[in-house]
Structure 1
Amino acid sequence: MDFSGKDKATYVQETFNSIAKRYDLMNSLMSFGLDKGWRRKAVQTVEAKPGMKMVDICCGTAQLSLELAMTVGEQGHVTGLDFSENMLGKAKENLATSPYRAIIELRQGDAMNLPFADNSFDGATVGWGLRNLPDLERGVREMVRVVKPGCMVVSLDMAKPTMPGFKQGYWLYFNKLVPLMGKIWAGKGKAYQYLHDSAVEFPAQQELARIFARCGLTDSRYIDLAGGVVAIVCGRKPKNN
Structure 2
Amino acid sequence: MQQYNGKSKEEFVHGVFSAIAHRYDLMNTTLSFNRDKYWRRFAVSQTGLQPGGFALDVACGTGMLSIELARVVGTSGRVTGLDFCENMLAQAVRNIEKTPYKNNIDLVQGNAMNLPFADNTFDCATIGFALRNVPDVEGCIAEMRRVVKPGGRVVSLELAKPSAPVFKQLYYLYFEQLVPLLGKLGVGKDGPYRWLPNSLKIFPHQSVIRDIFTRVGLKDAVYHELTGGIVAVHVGTK
TM-score (norm 2): 0.98
1:81-160 matches, within 5 Å, as 81-160=82-161
Task: Provide the alpha-carbon RMSD of the alignment.
Answer: 0.9
- Amino acid in structure 1 at the alignment position of 2:162: P
Deviation at 1:139, TM superposition (A): 0.3
Q: Secondary structure at the match of 2:221?
A: strand
By how many angstroms is 1:204 displaced?
Answer: 1.1
Q: Look up the match of 1:60.
A: 61
Q: What do the CA deviations read for 1:97-118 (whole angstroms, capped 9, x no partner)? A: 2110100000100000000000
Count of residues paired in the alignment: 237
Mapped contact 1:181–1:189 kept (Cα < 8 A): no
Partner of 1:42 in structure 2?
Answer: 43
CA distance in 2, matches of 1:56, 1:89: 16
Contact 2:47 2:153 in 1 (8 A): yes
Partners of 2:186 and 2:16 lie apart in 1 by: 16
Deviations 1:134-173 (A, max 9, x none): 0111000000000000110000000000001111111111
Displacement of 1:48 in angstroms is: 1.4
Aligned to 1:36, what secondary structure does the other structure show? helix
Q: Which amino acid aligns with 2:209?
A: L
Report the equivalent of 1:232. Answer: 233
Structure 1 consecutive aligned stretches of length 4 or more whose deviation exceeds 4 Å = none
1:188 is displaced (CA, Å) by 2.5
User: What corresponds to 1:162 in structure 2?
Assistant: 163
Note the residue ranges of structure 2 that are not aligned, 5 or more in a row: none
CA distance in structure 1 between the aligned counterparts of 2:204 and 2:160, rounded to whole angstroms: 8
TM-aligned CA deviation for residue 185 of structure 1: 1.1
Counterpart amino acid of residue 201 in structure 1: I
Structure-2 separation of matches of 1:224 and 1:98: 29
1:2 deviates by: 6.5
Residue 181 (structure 1) aligns with: 182
Which amino acid in 1 is paired with 2:199?
S
CA distance in 2, matches of 1:2, 1:27: 26
In 2: Cα distance, 1:170 partner to 1:207 partner: 21
Query: Take 2:200 and 2:91, find their aligned partners in 1: how far apart are those partners?
Result: 24
1:57-105 Cα offsets, whole Å, 9 max, x none, are: 0000000000000110000000000001000000001111211010000
Q: Is the 8 A contact 1:83 1:109 kept in 2?
A: yes
TM value normalised by structure 1: 0.97
Which ranges in structure 1 are unaligned for 5 or more consecutive residues? none
Give the secondary structure class of the aligned counterpart of 2:103. helix
CA distance in 2, matches of 1:88, 1:76: 21
The sequence identity of aligned pairs, in percent, is 53
**Aligned residue for 2:213?**
212
Letter in 1 for 2:133: N
Task: For residue 101 of structure 1, give the secondary structure of its aligned residue in structure 2.
Answer: coil
